[in-house]
Amino acid sequence: MRRKPKTSAYQEQVEALNGILGEMCDLAGVAMDLATQALLHANLPVAEQVITDHDRMLEMSAKAEKQAFALLSQQAPKPADLRATVTGFQIVADVDRMGALALHVAKTARRRHPNKTLPEEVDGYFAEMGRLAVKLAHAAREVLESQDPQDALQLEEDDDAMDDLHRHLFSVLMDREWKHGVESAVDVTLLGRYYERFADHAVLIGRRVVFQTTGMTPQQLIETT
């Protein structure tokens, strides 16, 4: 029976870093789920919870950066190990931004309380965008754990669905029948952008995992399979 290759101490530390990053993805997903609830239902306590819980994300980010710097300081890492470490720094920034975008949604809901932020005709768009955002965050965590480049590529599909919703949302805003004023239109525009960018960062994590594990861009990987 063939023995599994022995995992080096460096690889174990890379896995530990990816574990922290995966936990951060889950935290970002939970934050966006709660922020969406606060947005749709003008729920101030839930919005406040997202804002308070963001401190946990900041703590995890600092922990991930410390782990990445520890890896970077080691002598003569292999090229693949160095690639994993540098990519780890980039993923920290991506997940940080996901958490910040969820925070923006919660703060918008808090700012408009006790009024509801969204007109009723766009509630369905944001409910679905919230669902996709949470799905992408959890998928990013799974990809970080599995390090499967093919699974990482699948993140693009859910991002396409998010982009479609975002485009349709603009068609509602541009309709002559829009009767909710400029302030509401600005809120909807910014909020739509927050969800779109959240999804984009999840996709970037997938792309970085592809590079981390194969040394190729997603396009190069597709062309070789």
pLDDT digit string, tens, across residues 37-50: 999 999 999 999 99
pTM for the structure as a whole: 0.92
What distance in Å separates the CA atoms of residue 18 and residue 143, rounded to the nearest whole number? Answer: 10
For 192-217, write each residue's pLDDT tens digit.
Answer: 999 999 999 999 999 999 998 898 88
Residue type, 127: A
Q: Who's near 132: CB < 8 A, 6+ residues apart? A: 158, 161, 162, 165, 195, 199
CATH 1.20.58.220 fits 9-224, yes or no: yes
Opening angle at CA 133, ends 192 and 161, nearest 5? 75
pLDDT at 75: 60
Who wins on pLDDT, 188 or 1? 188
Could you give the percent of the chain with pLDDT greater than 90? 68
Domain positions in the chain are 9-224
Half-sphere exposure of 25 (CA within 13 A, CB side): 28
Joined tokens for residue 17: 């870093």
Q: Who's near 56: CB < 8 A, 6+ residues apart? A: 27
